Chains A and B, each alone.
Chain A
């Protein structure tokens, strides 16, 4: 069975929007992080879809880049979140506003 690319793209768009909204409205750092991952995966899905659509391998290659970068980002991000929550006893991003004016 062959599903039309529009469906995949719509799904990707939907996932991305959910990710954006979630990242903006939630305050728990872990949850924001999960929404960011959701956006990344939405982009990955779009890449794979286009790769398939045009019969090019480039899109699939880029997905690997995104995965690797995302993994690195998770490592750093989680380390920061962990340290913040250890120090301040909370993972609420609104509590961490030391660098404002």
Chain B
């Protein structure tokens, strides 16, 4: 037996009497409070828990506490002192924007510091080898590599401190970055009170089943430490959630409709929940035959998932313009194609986590989320209390990408805190996260396109079915967005597009970076290449010829008027395209087993909700000490809204950015800025920030009756207003303190001007679209079917690049997810609920990425800016698929293009050795 275990932690001796088989992660985080070491998978797959054990890298989740007895353990908290380069690396990561959400950053820094202990001049390959054990889902790894090179070379930038009025457009380092690189950032699982109860959900092991509970009270009584068991009977309000259609039960009643659906929750003391064996929970199951495919769900006589949804069709969307049939019949050149994609998992490194506490008749939920106000309203409905009695405090969010728009732990922890009166926490395991939370919709698409012989697209007919799983989630959004976007940013005068969301007994599909558009471009952008080939036109020039412009209508009849920079993006790729084609030709002339190719793909994507209101409100206050409070409710999930919104607000007021104090999202402290989704925060919240900034500026100028072009300075307790005729100084302490304790305060809202779509989908669904085009260069091994992406060149029209570093970060991260979607990512319900079977790109799978920022300002956006979050991902996969076709002559119509599928296509063409 082992009595006490002692070891050195960051230079200090610690002693533990914990269970010696407990994981080191649990001891570090739960017992010792060193929460900089993150838990992403609990299986050694993600590396977020990487620490140094006697100077060597190890995953703390794979070590029993007893195994580090007598060892020297170094975590992120001790890295700056324990390693030569820890500090320099932290500075370089911050300056380079190598931390986005930041959840992988501690693990990355530990690996990088270990590398630089012995190799102060690492090349990219050495860095990749050293950091390969840590997965990142946000950055695409490129800025991490740059940061390590910088730190090794003694360079670690300090970032720009822009002067008043110059924040927009400058390379400002992320304002909320310091805690991400020090390991002090608090994610959903990091600040749980010591006395909190813990909650575990009991979930359906079957895709579809009936169930009955055994004696729950006897179970509770027989298990010391279990405080309560919750079922649907314990939900005081509505036992359903879902933002668009509240059809998903918190706890299933009688029947579960997907594997992973919760039927009960067990609440208990931390130790009891940690040791809980859910296999003995008293519930008995009767497995029912599930509908696992869209064909099964659509077949005649199939049982209905939900009684109000005939034919298992959740929702349909359509856009019709001109006469597609007549134009197709008249077109001299017509092609047809069918395309399919699978479930894609968000795979953020931070599984869902959060905790709640009851405060009188209110409940406060601290949670990793993208949508605090939606969470508030959904949680209130479940508790049967008013939304004002729920406070949502977003923790740092370790990656969202759409899935954290839906409720996950919120109902469980809120209910648990509500009924027990004690704080209650819940942290999903990785299998639970993969099993129970939303996915990208699998798509099955059929498309026909017609063109004139001079290369003009004349007709398009598109049909898409999207597997939306067992509940609505954001399926309606997908069905509405798809027909609007299926054309891509091209002039298509005669158009018919129809999309359906189909209910099945699969995990719900929901929001995922692009809401169905990444799937449709896989069809559309390959169709364009096929059409160009048939017309014997260069794929890039064919796109340029058909590109949407400021004056041509979209398929919904919308004429943008300004800000359509698509053609500019394509033209920016032209020299790269010429180079890439000739490089591939030279390579292929001397290579048989390996072939290279290049492919392009374009995209557009509407920012904000589709024809629905989605206002943001920003409050900006001038404090008596002369600093500005920015109530910034756009949740920063790593993309950078805390920084971008502040840059916009500072410039609108005309004061330097370093005067801005951030008050980040909290439903008690910040007005509603909507959800971090649909690439809307820079555009919508940014515009609200611009308006609030301008309003505050007017109030300040009014103090001096100064003109619009006056300069404002704040120093030494005085606010000084200067224009050509006057200089007036006002002592801040002479100004009365008003609402919220501010001496001046402005609050402004912005809701993008859109119009409803008519029955044919005609109208202006978005005030602003983002545009872009990617070029991928690949090498294909014809024998094995493996595809290596060699480079991606990404041109994006962002209107105005508010923060170029952050935009590049979005592009690189989007490209990485696009590579995953194109080549390796597919989830099959019930299989591979972990991060070694579900594969996302590693540091070795993301090639150099060259970002080209095009600025065609949109008059609707703040300083002309548009969104970039989703735009960055959308064209990557089709560009890769087009490059594979260029390299091999085979077209991959089913994603992901796994080695097996590529090889099968090559064999089917008879073109392989």
The answer on A and B forming one complex is no
A-binding residues in B (CB < 8 A): none
B-binding residues in A (CB < 8 A): none
